[in-house]
Amino acid sequence: MASEPEALQHSFEDGPSGQRLALRGALLTSSLGSFWRTLERLDEKSVSDLREIDASGLTDFDSNGLALLLSLQSRVRAAGGDCPLTGLEPEAQKILDQLEERLAAEDVPTPPQKSSFVVAVGESTLRFFQDLRTLIAFVGELTLSFARALRHPSTIRWRDTLVQAELVGVNALPIIILLGFLIGLILAYQALIPMQEFGAGIFVANLVSLSLLRELGPLMTAVILAGRSGSAFAAEIGTMKVDEELDALETFGLDSRRYMSLPRVMATVFMAPLLTIFLNLVGLMGAIAVMLGQGYAVSAFIRQVKLQVDYVDLLGGLFKALVFGLLVAGIGCLRGFQTGSGASSVGVSATRAVVSGIVLIIAADGIFAVLYNTLGI
Amino acid sequence: MTGEPVIQVSDLCVAFGDNVVLENVSLDIEEGEVLTILGGSGSGKTTLMRHMIGLREPQGGSIRVLGRDIARGGADLEAARRDMGVAYQSGALFGSLSVLENVCLPLQELTDLPGSACEWIAQLKLRSVGLGQALYRLPSELSGGMKKRAAIARAMALDPKILFLDEPSAGLDPITASDLDDLILDLARSLGMTIVVVTHELASIFKIADRAVILDGARRTIVADGPPAELRDHSDDSFVRRFFRRESSNESTG
């Protein structure tokens, strides 16, 4: 509806006492860019030589345009000069006065300094250890409430625990089966190539069963749990925290940490060994599929498995799975409780839950390796 | 200016599924006017505003903003949006950016201003809403009222011709709310900005509004239109009279 605004033009004119900047046209946000750049390129000397800004030729203006004039004026003042604005419409003058008043009214804080590399490294190291301490404290707290709950089973919220068991366990079964079968298959296939060269093809059964039951079964199950359930716990609890639902629980007089984490941790602790059994089983089936294709009998495979592994291997693996389950669920809940505020923080918590979960699993697995070795298991 | 209304809503009909919210709403807003949209909860105030910004396509009627038909989206809507600034009820600040960066964002994306200029302007806008001390804070570190003021600063960043404010002073302390009213008046009086405010605050309505329209959720349309003091003193409509007598009593009817 309005006609195109007249383009902004400027010229520097020499006067008796110094330079004069004359403006013509429209001083609007949309046309400020090149003029502002020109002003930025002015050196100190020409800035301090500026004696007057003549705005009488301006046909239109907005407050961003006036902000530019103000910025120029304050630069001139900083350089020790002074350059009054002349010919400004009274309305514009009024806005300018207001802007100036605001500038004078308070000092703005300085932007936060980016810390140096050394400080950053120090700080993140400190954060890492603080985080580790919180984690250990949380797992301890959790174990205590777990033990208390087992002593008084009536205090356990069974319905919630069963719902979580379904989410963590039953719903994870398809991916556990797929992954387990493929791991068994790939392991057997890769091992078969070199072992057949030595005529030891049948010992693939020993290799697959031992590595699955003792190591890969619990490990892969825990990794899947970290990706599926740990992140889900963190996101769910994190969202509840952002929406102040956890505060609501607290004001009922409930311990929100215990209330939220106990059913989840319990469900995961019980489901992790169960899922591991499934993964072991279908992993062996995957290996059998490969062996059958190479002409070995199923009975021969099973005999080799029985010779190689016993219940100690199986139970050792399942105990590992149980501990992994505790760690994954615990860290998932903890990251949820640590969520800051805002939409992005929930995503951050979920990611942190998965990453710390996997790191913890690997670390715990290392400890188990040493432990089992010492105990001769 | 040609005297044509800045915003022209004609026979607007809006329904969510079977639920008709607005029926045959017509409204002209003149340049430089401060218009408040009033009504009980659920009477369609925010819905009306969302249509003026072109966030929803109406079931019927037309909406013209600055001479462009925006009701059906497309290039006209995009062009009209360059001249609109909107401050949402909850603030809708970007959580990963500092307050200053939030205000800088439209300046950086939509103008050719250098970075330092964007920061200078953004800083002035934030000072004008009293957030000079909070420039480098993240939205998550602000109170509800501060978020709202930051959102208003962001809406003003490009010096739009029309400013839409959704409940700007709800939840603010009386001093900040009154400062905000002064700011709105300044923008309208000295820059000729057209300002559409959806609000509940009676005190601020009488202070800032040139004109008020009242929506009645039961009748699904505008039931009163005029200067607020005149509506309060001379309206024959019982709903309008009750509205001004005790605004909160509308909650049940809205």
Backbone angles phi, psi at A143, to 5 degrees: -60, -40
Taking only the tens place, the pLDDT of each residue in A129-156 is 998 899 888 888 888 888 888 888 888 8
Instruction: Report the residue from A28, A98, A112 with minimal CB separation from B136.
Output: A112
Instruction: Give the 3-state DSSP-derived string for B132-178, with helices as H, strands as E and coil as C.
Output: HHHCCCCHHHCCHHHHHHHHHHHHHCCCCCEEEEECCCCCCCHHHHH
Q: Do A30 and B111 touch (CB under 8 A)?
A: yes
Chain B residues whose beta carbon lies within 8 Å of the beta carbon of residue A34: 112
Chain B residues whose beta carbon lies within 8 Å of the beta carbon of residue A33: 111-114, 117
With bands split at pLDDT 50, 70 and 90, how would you rate the model's confidence at B179? confident
The tokens 């004078």 sit on which residue?
A104
Measured between its terminal Cα atoms, the distance across chain B in Å is 38
Measured between its terminal Cα atoms, the distance across chain A in Å is 86
Cα–Cα distance, B112 to B115 (Å, whole number): 9
Instruction: Give the 3-state DSSP-derived string for chain A, with helices as H, strands as E and coil as C.
Output: CCCCCCCCEEEEEECCCCEEEEEEEEECHHHCHHHHHHHHHCCHHHHHHEEEEEEEEEEEECHHHHHHHHHHHHHHHHCCCCCCEECCCHHHHHHHHHHHHHHHHCCCCCCCCCCCHHHHHHHHHHHHHHHHHHHHHHHHHHHHHHHHHHHCHHHCCHHHHHHHHHHHCHHHHHHHHHHHHHHHHHHHHHHHHHHHHCCCHHHHHHHHHHHHHHHHHHHHHHHHHHHHHHHHHHHHHHHHHHCCHHHHHHHCCCCHHHHHHHHHHHHHHHHHHHHHHHHHHHHHHHHHHHHHHCCCCHHHHHHHHHHHCCHHHHHHHHHHHHHHHHHHHHHHHHHHHCCCCCHHHHHHHHHHHHHHHHHHHHHHHHHHHHHHHHHCC
Better pLDDT: B31 or A98: B31
Q: What is the mean pLDDT of residues B41-63?
A: 87
If you average pLDDT over every residue of chain B, what do you get? 84
Q: Which residue of A has its CA nearest to B101?
A: A111
Q: What is the mean pLDDT of residues B5-19?
A: 88
pLDDT reported for residue B246: 57
Q: Do A102 and B124 touch (CB under 8 A)?
A: yes
Highest mean pLDDT, choosing among A267-271, B90-94, B125-129: A267-271
Q: Do A33 and B112 touch (CB under 8 A)?
A: yes
Angle between helices B99-110 and B144-156 (to 10 degrees): 20
Highest mean pLDDT, choosing among A9-23, A58-72, B102-116, B178-192: B102-116
pTM: 0.70
Taking only the tens place, the pLDDT of each residue in A199-241 is 999 999 999 999 999 999 999 999 999 999 999 999 999 999 9
Taking only the tens place, the pLDDT of each residue in A325-346 is 999 999 999 999 999 877 778 9
pLDDT reported for residue B253: 42
pLDDT reported for residue A223: 96
Beta-carbon contacts of residue B189 (< 8 Å; ≥ 6 apart) = none
SS3 for B217?
A: coil
Q: What is the mean pLDDT of residues A263-282?
A: 95
Q: Do A68 and B135 touch (CB under 8 A)?
A: no
pLDDT reported for residue A115: 79
Better pLDDT: A320 or A341: A320
Cα–Cα distance, B86 to B49 (Å, whole number): 10
Picking from A3, A29, A35, A339 by the largest number of B CB atoms within 10 A of its own CB, the best residue to mutate is A29
Better pLDDT: A21 or A336: A336
Size of interface A-B (CB pairs under 8 A): 88
With bands split at pLDDT 50, 70 and 90, how would you rate the model's confidence at B243? confident
Interface of B with A in 137-176 (CB under 8 A): 138-140, 156, 158-159
pLDDT reported for residue B248: 43
Interface of A with B in 328-347 (CB under 8 A): 340-345
